[in-house]
Amino acid sequence: MHISYKNTGVRISEQVYEPSEDSFLLAEAALYEIENSEKILEVGCGCGIISAVIEANTEAKVIGIDINPFAAVCSKQNGIEVIRGDLLNCIRGKFDIIIFNPPYLPTGDAERRGDWLDAALDGGNDGRRVINRFLEDAGNCLAEHGKILMLVSSLTGIDEIKSRLRSLGYSVRERANERFDFEQLTVLLAMKS
């Protein structure tokens, strides 16, 4: 499958999350937030659509990371510099912006697929399991005045995530919102206070 968006196109392979409304909302927010030639990390890059859109429309330097080996290969085939790894555990260096479209859906045992797509979809029982792990380490990878752009869902508890960010010393605001039948998607912008 091939997807075109904002002056770029990517191919998607099996076992890789297919970009959807969440991906495009986060890509738009990222384009709005990028000012110059920032150094950007996209965590959970999937097929690389967000990184590809950033590279096609800005002067920013983007590196992607994904735990899914199929996603890492797919991103690389789509021209993205990518590392295969689990969240931020293998990242060295500092980034001006870290972008994350986490697995945010609350997921019970019966809903797990048992394949690599779980890495993109399974947010744990409350939808925040992976988000909380990410937030513990994100500050170590941010440059001075660095920012986090993260997509969350009303199903995950947006206020709970904002509260968690504030408890870690971030100022938080909503950068973008979009309402769908059963949920609201929100891009949070977090900066160290």
pTM over 0.85: yes
Alpha-carbon span 29 to 49, nearest angstrom? 14
Q: What is the three-state SS of the chain?
A: CEEEECCEEEECCCCCCCCCHHHHHHHHHHHHHCCCCCEEEEECCCCCHHHHHHHHHCCCEEEEEECCHHHHHHHHHCCCEEEECCCCCCCCCCEEEEEECCCCECCCHHHCCCCCCHHHHECCCCCCHHHHHHHHHHHHHEEEEEEEEEEEECCCCHHHHHHHHHHCCEEEEEEEEEECCCCEEEEEEEEEC
Summarize pLDDT for 69-104 with one digit per residue, the tens: 999 999 999 999 999 999 998 898 999 999 999 988
Q: Which CATH architecture has domain 2-192?
A: 3-Layer(aba) Sandwich (3.40)
For 4-13, write each residue's pLDDT tens digit. 888 888 898 8
Average pLDDT over residues 117-146: 87
Please choose, from the candidates 10, 99, 8, 98, the residue with its C-alpha nearest in 3D space to the C-alpha of residue 56.
8
Residue-level length of the chain: 193
Read off the pLDDT of residues 7-33 as tens digits, 9 standing for 90 and up. 888 898 888 988 999 999 999 999 999
Any idea which residue has 């980034």 for tokens? 95
